[in-house]
Amino acid sequence: MTFPVVDPATLVEIATVEDMDVPAALRAVDAAAGALRAWSTTPPRRRSEILHRAYELMIRDREFLAGLISRENGKSLSDAAGEVTYAAEFFRWFAEEAVRPGGDFGESPAGGARTLVTHRPVGVAALVTPWNFPAAMITRKIGPALAAGCTAVVKPAAETPLTALAVAALLTEAGLPDGVITVVTTTDAAGVVGAWLDDERVRKISFTGSTAVGRVLLRHAAGRVVNSSMELGGNAPFIVAGDADLEAAVAGAMIAKFRNGGQACTAANRFYVHRSIATGFTARFGAAVEKLTVGPAAGGATIGPLISAAALRRVTRTVDEAIAAGARISHRATLPDAPGHFYPPTVLVDVPADAAVLREEIFGPVAAITTWSDEDELLELVNDSEYGLAAYVFSGDLARALRLGEAIDAGMVGINRGLVSDPSAPFGGVKQSGLGREGAREGLREFQETQYLSVDWPAQLSHSGGLWSS
**Cα–Cα distance for residue pair 387/230, rounded to 1 Å:** 13
Phi/psi of residue 75, each to 5°?
Answer: -70, 160
**Cα–Cα distance for residue pair 449/79, rounded to 1 Å:** 36
182 DSSP β-pair partners: 153
Phi/psi of residue 25, each to 5°?
Answer: -65, -35
| Amino acid in position 336 | P
434 DSSP β-pair partners: 231
Burial letters 269-287, b for 16+ CB under 10 A, else e: bbbbbbeebbeebbebbbe
| Amino acid in position 261 | G
The Cα-based distances of 99 to 49, 117, 148, 451 in angstroms read: 10, 16, 9, 18
**Cα–Cα distance for residue pair 142/127, rounded to 1 Å:** 8
Q: Which residues are catalytic?
A: 231
Q: DSSP states of 300-313 as a string?
A: T-SB---SSHHHHH
Q: Show Cβ contacts of residue 369 under 8 Å, excluding neighbours closer than 6 positions.
A: 271, 273, 278, 281, 282, 285, 330, 347, 348, 349, 351
